[in-house]
Structure 1
Amino acid sequence: MSPWNLAGTYFEACNCEAACPCIFTSPPTEGECKAMVAWHIDKGIYGDTPLDGLNVALAVHAPGTMVATKWKVAAYFDDKASAAQNDALHAIFGGKAGGHPAVLASFIGEMVGAKSVPMEYIADGRKSSLSIPGVAEAQIEQLNGQGAGPITIAGHPLCIAPGKPATVARSSRFALDDFGWGWNFSGKAGLMSDFAYASE
């Protein structure tokens, strides 16, 4: 297995009320979770293959409490990736290359599909967004806490970015139309933070 490491930013948006109870292994607020998780790799390498600047996203449907039910997942990979980069992203985010993505992949019960698509990912610390033309739009913005500062959650058991406090956000838009899923809602839960993953 090739050694690898990735660092960048991530965000997630879902249909739960803010803050999402799923991250505390509680049932989702609507009985099921419909989520989009997106990553932007600032710096990354898989063996000798650089992965800087690439994006990955997963659409996730969990029919109940996320740690007690298996997820249906659709995967989206940046169409700017070369063949070698695409293979590396599939290996890492498919859970075949170890590290935290393998932990996340252990929750998947069905992969409904995977596509290479154009992806525009933007993050400025307060806002994060992902656009996949004709497929998905997700936009979240930080919720203000005391003194208009960020509200953060650390140490939650179901997390995308271990060791990183997540900033609580709310979606201004979240829509997905693919693989028979037609999701369209706003004003719901979001989280964002840095992430760092490695093969060991």
Structure 2
Amino acid sequence: MASWNLKGFYAEACTCEGACPCVYTEKPTGGTCTGLVGWHIDEGEDGGVRLEDLNVALALHSPGRMTDGNWRVALYLDDRADDQQRAALQRIFSGAAGGHPANLSPLIGEVTEVTPARIRFEQSDRGCRLDVGSVAEADLQAIEGLDGGKASISGHPLAVAPGFPATVAKSSTFKLQAGDIRCDVTGRTAFYSPFAYEG
């Protein structure tokens, strides 16, 4: 039986143009990739500590192909969480608790900060918005697919939410200033989908 489990919704935005090649383990379109990933937890717990309705965000910079590692990251934990919840979120999203986050942790070369932040998600039928205090804002709109539906990808090797097709989107706004991890772009790659992790 899993000692922890989470289910919810995730969104990511980055500086790559067109269809981001990072998710296929190819080089970023600009040589490097700066991104923001956020998670909203609809239900979950870690050893009896309830984690529903909490949020987590990760700012990252990859100096080249993402699978080559050496990412610089900053981790933001919901400022509404109490001490036990914050410790559980840090343990899970740092990869220390195993599960899918542990698959990504070897790619991280430096953690610049782990800090509480006001993290807010807004979801709609055609996109979502993610705000992380004064650090980041991202507005994402799904691109129009066949017959006006949404376009999605699945089975890509560098997936934040394995097992769930990711809706392909673009950022109408993507601003990030997490120390020297920063960008201010529009019309770049974004994805979102449900997620489920356990460990």
State whether TM-score is above 0.5: yes
- Please state how far the C-alpha of 1:125 moved relative to its aligned partner: 3.8
Q: Give runs of aligned pairs for residues 109-188 of structure 1, distance below 5 A.
A: 109-188=109-188
- Please state how far the C-alpha of 1:139 moved relative to its aligned partner: 1.1
Q: TM-score, normalised by structure 2?
A: 0.97
The two structures, once aligned, show a CA RMSD in angstroms of: 1.1
Q: TM-score, normalised by structure 1?
A: 0.96
**Which consecutive residues of structure 2, in runs of 5 or more, have no partner in the other structure?**
none
Q: Is residue 75–residue 113 contact of structure 1 (8 Å, CA) maintained in 2? A: yes
1:94 is matched with 94
Equivalenced residue count is: 198
Aligned partner letter, 1:171: S
2:34 is matched with 34
- Please state how far the C-alpha of 1:132 moved relative to its aligned partner: 2.0
Instruction: Tell me the distance in 2 between the aligned counterparts of 1:182 and 1:35.
Output: 9
- Determine helix, strand or coil for the equivalent of 1:131: strand
Q: Tell me if 1:55 matches 2:51.
A: no
**Which consecutive residues of structure 1, in runs of 5 or more, have no partner in the other structure?**
none
Instruction: Tell me the distance in 1 between the aligned counterparts of 2:86 and 2:60.
Output: 20
- Please state how far the C-alpha of 1:129 moved relative to its aligned partner: 1.3
- Please state how far the C-alpha of 1:172 moved relative to its aligned partner: 0.6
Q: Is residue 18–residue 169 contact of structure 1 (8 Å, CA) maintained in 2? A: no
- Determine helix, strand or coil for the equivalent of 1:80: coil
- Determine helix, strand or coil for the equivalent of 2:66: coil
Runs of 4+ in 1 over 2 A off after TM superposition: none
- Greater Cα shift, 104-113 or 118-127: 118-127
1:108 is matched with 108
Using the aligned pairs only, state the percent identity.
Answer: 45
Instruction: Tell me the distance in 2 between the aligned counterparts of 1:133 and 1:144.
Output: 30
Q: Is residue 138–residue 173 contact of structure 2 (8 Å, CA) maintained in 1? A: yes
Aligned partner letter, 1:122: E
Q: Tell me if 1:192 matches 2:187.
A: no
Aligned partner letter, 1:44: G
